[in-house]
Amino acid sequence: MPYRAPLDDVRFLLDHVSGYGSIAATDRFAEASRETAEAILGEAARLCQDVLNPLQRVGDTDPARLENGIVRTPKGFADGYRAIAEGGWIGMSADPEFGGMGLPVTLAMIVNEMMSSACLAIQLGPLMSQGQIEALEHHASDEIRALYLPKLISGEWSGTMNLTEPQAGSDVGALRTRAEPNGDGTYAITGQKIYISWGDNDFTENVCHLVLARLPDGVPGTKGISLFLVPKRIPDAESNPGERNALRVVSLEHKMGLHGSPTAVMSYEGATGWLIGPEHGGMAAMFTMMNNARVGVATQGIGVAEAALQHAVAYAMDRKQGRAGGSGAIIEHADVRRMLAEMKAQVFAARAIELICAGAIDMATATGSADWDARAALLTPIAKAFGTDTGIEVASLGIQVHGGMGFIEETGAAQYLRDVRVTAIYEGTNGIQAMDLVGRKLRDGGEAAYALIDEICTRSEAARSREPELANAVWNAAETLRETTEWLVSRTDPEDRNAGAVPYLRAFALVLGGWAHLAAALHGTPAQARLARFYILRMLPAHAGLLAHVREGAADLLALSPEDIAA
C-alpha cells in the first residue's frame, strides 16, 4: 500500500507542541527557519513515498543473505541507500565542518520517522551511522574525526555498534572481547559480537565498527571497558579503503522480522582498531551513540505505527462486511472505529513525545542550559519505550482490523508487527528504559520531572476557559503523576521503584500525550479536536490504574517466589 507522509500532524506539533519556533530563534539554528524546515520535510516525504516505500515488501520477501562470506542485500536496497546518502539525509544534524548540515535533531528525527514508515529495514542502516557520527564528534581524536566523519556523513562509509556477545547482553560488563596494544598506537581486537545491525553490506566502500573491548589492565565490569573503531578495510595514506582487516561476518541471524536488514554475528581475529575516548572510558563514549540511537529507535516505532495505521484505515474503508450503515465498509462498525481511533490517537501522542524530546535536545545544544539537558535526559527513556510500545500495539491492532486477512502475509499487515517487535528490545529493553527513568533520572530529587509536570499543569489551567472538561482531566492526571513521583523519590529501597517502573513510564507518557492532545483541542483542526477528546476522555484515564500499581511498591511482587510463578 502506498505510504503518505503525515506532514499535517508534523506541522501542527512543530507549531503548537514541540516549540520549534524557539529552536529556530537560537543563534545555533537560525538558518533552520520554519520555511526551511517545510522545504526539507517536503523533499524527505517524496524520497520516502516514491523511493523507499516500494522496498518495504521487497526486503521481506527477498531477505539479506550471506554468500561465501559476502553479504548480499535485497534488490533495490543499494539504490535506496544511495538516494538517502546523496540527499545528505545521513548527516542532517552532523557538524558542517565535516560535511553535515548542522540542522536540529528535531528535523532529523522527523525524517527518520518517515523513512521508518516507508521501509524500516533500510532505515536502520543510516540510523547506525548517525549514532556513530555523534560518538566520534564527541569522543574521537582530531585525526580520527578528520578521516572518518566526512566518509560517514556522505554515506560512502557506514557505521555500526558492537556491544552484545553471546554471554553479555544487557549485562555489557560481562563481555570477553580483548584489546591488546600493538605498540604503534593501534590495538589488536579479538572476540565475537552478535546482533550487529547492518554488520556488513554490498554497497558502501567501508563498514566502520565501534567495538567495546577490554584492555589487559581493564578491571572487571563496565568500568574496565574501552571503545575502539575497527574498520572493515584499513584506510591507506590517501584515506581510501585499503587492506582487509582481520574481521569477518560469521553468519546472519534468522529473525522474526526486518529480513532486509542484515543482522550479523561478527568475529574479530586480531583486527586493527583505534581507541575512541580514554582508556577504560568506553561506556561513556558508547552511551553517546546509544542515547542517539534510543531517540532514533523511538522514531522507528512511531514510523511503523503510522504505516500500520494507514494500512489498516485503507483496508477498513474498502472492506464491506456485515450491516454497518453509511458505506457498508467495516470502518462503520463501532469497534473497528474504536480500534482505528486508538491507533491514531496513540500515534499522535507518541510523535508529540518524540518531538518534545528532540526539541529539548536541540535547546540544550543551542543554549548549553543544564535544565534543557535534564529535560532531554528525562524524556529519552519515555520516548524510546512509549514510541516502540506504540509501534507494537498499533501494528497488532492493525492486524485485528484486517481480521483473518491480517494473519495472511500477502496483505502486508503482519510484516509491520514482525519488523517493529525488536524495537522494544534493542538499545536497552523497555524495562531497562523504565528503570533508568525511576533510577538515574529521578536522582535529582525529581526536579526535572516536577518542572515538566508544572508546565503541563500551567498550560492546562490556561486552557480551562476554552476546554474546561478536557483541561481539568489533563490537570488532574498531571497532579496524580506528581504525587506518584513524590512517592517514588521518597523510596529508599530501589526495588520499590523498579517494581513499578514500567507502569510509571507508561503513565508519564499518557499524561504527556494528554498535554499534546489538549493543544490539538485548542488549536487543531476539527478532526484533531475530536480525536483529542477521544484520547483525553477514553485513553488518558488508564494513567490512574498504572500509578496505583506503582504505589504498591515491591513487597507483594517479591513475595511471589520463582516456584510460585513456575507452579
Catalytically active residues are 427
Grid cell for residue 181:
596494544
- Torsion, Cα of 406, 517, 370, 98 (10° steps): 50
Q: Of 447, 306, 296, whose CA–CA distance to 358 is shortest?
A: 296
Q: Is residue 395 a contact partner of residue 423, using CB atoms and an 8 Å limit? A: no
| Rounded-to-integer distance, Cα 14 and Cα 27, Å | 19
**Angle, CA of 546, 550 and 556, to the nearest 5°:** 115
Residue 396 and residue 417 in contact, taking contact as beta carbons nearer than 8 Å: yes
Paired residues of 179 in beta bridges:
189
User: In this structure, what C-alpha cell is assigned to residue 392?
Assistant: 507494537
SS (H, E, C) 342-359: HHHHHHHHHHHHHHHHHH
Chain centroid to CA 392: 13
Query: Distance between CA 511 and CA 151 in Å, rounded?
Result: 42
Helix H or strand E encompassing 514: helix 501-523
- Within 10 angstroms of residue 39's Cβ, the number of other Cβ atoms is 10
Helix ranges restricted to H, 403-467: 413-420, 430-438, 447-463
Q: Which residues pair with 251 in a beta bridge?
A: 265
Sole residue written with cell 543473505 = 65
CB-CB contact of 301 with 392 (8 Å): yes
Distance CA 56, CA 173 (A): 36
CB 112 within 8 A of CB 303: yes
Q: How far apart are CA 53 and CA 47, in angstroms?
A: 9
CA–CA distance, 288 with 138 (Å, rounded to integer)? 8
For residue 1, with 0-12 CB atoms within 10 Å meaning exposed, 13-18 middle and 19 or more buried, which class applies?
middle
Q: Which among 492, 487, 519 is positioned nearest to 503, based on CA atoms?
A: 487
Task: Cell 553517546: give the residue.
Answer: 288
How far apart (Å, rounded) are the C-alpha atoms in residues 215 and 217? 5
